[in-house]
Amino acid sequence: MTYSPKLIDHYENPRNIGSLDKNDVDVGTGLVGAPACGDVMKLQIKVGADGLIEDAKFKTFGCGSAIASSSLVTEWVKGKTIDEAETIKNTDIAKHLALPPVKIHCSVLAEDAIKAAIADYRAKTAKKEEPVSEGEQVAAPAK
C-alpha cells in the first residue's frame, strides 16, 4: 500500500499515544471497532474548566490508515470545545491523509471514536449535575 507522506508521518511519529484516567470526571472515553474486524480505537479527551479539550490520547489496534486517522483526530480536537470537536467529519480526515478508497472506513471509525468519547463525557457530566434526591431544586447549568 503506498501511503501519503502525511499518513506515514502519523504512523512513524504518532501524536498523543497513551491513556488518561477513565475514572476522572473530566475524561471522556470512546472505544470503537472490534478485534474481529481488525480495527479497534480507544480515544480519550480531557475537558478543562473552560469547556475546551485540553488533552487527548489514543491507542489503536489496526492498520497504518487506522493509526494515522486516530492520531490525526487527537491532534485536531485539542483546544476545541466539544461541540466543535463533534463536527469533525471523516471526509476531512480522509482528505488530509489522502486515504486510498479501500481505507476510507478507517476515517469513519475515527469519527465514531471522537463522537463516542464526547458522548461518554456528556453522560458523565449529566450524572454529575443530576439533582440531589432530597427534592432540592438545582438549576441545570448551561453547557
Among the listed residues 27, 47, 53, 62, the single contact to another protein using CB under 8 A = 62
Q: Rounded to an integer, what distance in angstroms lies between the CA atom of residue 55 and that of residue 78? A: 6
Q: Point out the catalytic residue in the list 106, 113, 114, 116.
A: 106
CA nearest neighbour of 53 among 133, 121, 141, 130: 121
Amino acid at 64: G
41 binds another protein per the rule CB under 8 A: yes
63 as an active site residue: the answer is no
Picking from 20, 44, 19, the residue whose alpha carbon sits closest to that of residue 31 is 44
Instruction: Tell me which of 20, 52, 104, 108 binds another protein, using CB under 8 A.
Output: 108
| Residues of the shown chain interacting with another protein in the complex, contacts defined by CB under 8 A | 1, 3, 8, 11, 14, 17, 19, 31-42, 59-67, 102, 105, 108-109
